[in-house]
Amino acid sequence: MRKKISEIRRRELAESAFLTLQEYGFKGTTIQRVSERAGMSHGLVHHYFKSKDDLLEAAVRLTNERITADVLRLLKLSRTPRERLTAVIEGNFAPSVFSREVAQGWAACCGEAAFDERFGRILRMIGRRLRTNLLFDLKKLLPASRAETVASGIAMMIDGAWLKCAFTQDTWDREAIMTPIFQWLTCELAMATPTSGETATDRLPDTAPPAMVSRL
């Protein structure tokens, strides 16, 4: 089904807004700069988005949409709880999204969320979805109370990795970033009594898997 012109325009503007956000931050991202980047008139931007906050919200949701799409793609290739956990973690560092520039835009959103309930609500929604995805399979491998703790820990490590990427000048490799998360998860699973057909050594590799086909 063909997309409406309005949907295409809104998506193009959301993309331009997020690119502008990466470069100038929340305060420096203006309707004028977004319109210039998108090659559209100031008035046309206002036709699709009533305010700057509406536009920035669409930009944040667009990035999360891409992460979600990668998680779902990997989940479709998953067959076991271990593989699904790997899919969720890897999908949150999707190669198409994970970069210092995007991380800077994400960090700007986190900072704004402390003062703007609109962005706080979006981040809480994303956080709840991540924990839910992790808990679905962690509860098959760990006692419920421990699964809750591990899900929270993984979510914090993922958030921390994104923020670290935004502030550091070093080049970050996604495999290297995921390795500590997988290693910690492997230790947690190894200490637990198996509650499914999998054994502790079958659940997760010692480091982040190198290729998706066997990963998720």
Supply angle C-alpha 198, 200, 202, rounded to 5: 60
Q: Output the CATH code of domain 5-215.
A: 1.10.357.10
The 10s digit of each residue's pLDDT in 171-205 is 778 899 999 999 999 999 998 855 545 554 344 54
| Annotated domain spans of the chain | 5-215
Distance CA(155)–CA(86), nearest Å, equals: 13
pTM of the full structure = 0.78
Mean pLDDT, rounded, for 4-19 = 88
Tokens 């700069």, located at residue: 33
